Amino acid sequence: MRRQLVAGNWKMHGSLEANSSLLQALVAAAPAACDVAVCVPFPYLAQAQQLLAGSSIALGAQDCSMHEQGAFTGEVSAGMLREFGCGYVIVGHSERRSLHGEGDAAVAAKAERALAAGLIPIVCVGETLQQREQEQTEAVIGLQLDAVAHLLGRHAARIVLAYEPVWAIGTGRSASAAQAQQVHAFMRARLGHRGVDAGSVPMLYGGSVKPDNARELFAQPDIDGGLIGGASLKAADFLGIVDAARSH
């Protein structure tokens, strides 16, 4: 059975002081009965590792290198993330794809490095508004999934997929529960056709999830939790979303 996961993506937000209050509030609430993770900026990994020690909240990062080590100035390897207690790493977030030109092959290579280092990659896929309006959603997501299907074939339960429609990220305009479910069902069917044990793959929805829409999204049969941006920066909102996941 797939467990629900709620993962926060802090993006480039935070400070030592703000992180400390946020993480202390999350730890004090001791969320259980669903998996919870926070993906923090690299410089705050050590701080977050220390504050989360002994809690059930997992630590994650927001990207990793496709290389194991070497002359790659500015990059951070999956092995380094593991040393700082990370259990998860986001790869292929739409902001990395659009702002840093990361394509499907790079995303797959990063996911493979993450797996080799013992991390669970959270692989993001999603269509732009223009692609949706041109009815290319399934074609776009199909290709993004095909790039990681070989990895999912070997590690179906050790990779998390996150469907994040680009038009819903940070816009306050979430996909409806029906729209999100439709894409998640398509994703399972597509992976099934590629020989993946698609029923074992955890699939999150991300894009303007808030406490007041989380319950309906997480109630969908193919949605196993959420990847949360803006709302993961406020303890009450993030815990409200965790609470919605817990009830499924």
Catalytic residues: 93, 164
The token duo for 90 is: 């986001």
Torsion angle defined by CA atoms of residues 20, 26, 29 and 30, in that order, rounded to the nearest 10 degrees:
-110
- Rounded Cα gap, residues 79 and 234, in angstroms: 30
Nearer CB in complex with ligand PEP: 225/229: 229
- The least CB distance from residue 111 to ligand PEP, in Å, is 16
Torsional class of 171: left (φ above 0), alpha (ψ -120 to 50), beta (otherwise): alpha
- The least CB distance from residue 231 to ligand PEP, in Å, is 6
Nearer CB in complex with ligand PEP: 164/222: 164
- The least CB distance from residue 203 to ligand PEP, in Å, is 14
Q: For binding to ligand PEP (CB under 6 A), which residues are involved?
A: 9, 164, 169-170, 206-209, 227-231
- Rounded Cα gap, residues 41 and 30, in angstroms: 22
- Rounded Cα gap, residues 191 and 51, in angstroms: 38
Q: Which residue is nearest to ligand PEP (CB)?
A: 229
- The least CB distance from residue 90 to ligand PEP, in Å, is 8
- The least CB distance from residue 229 to ligand PEP, in Å, is 2
Nearer CB in complex with ligand PEP: 23/228: 228
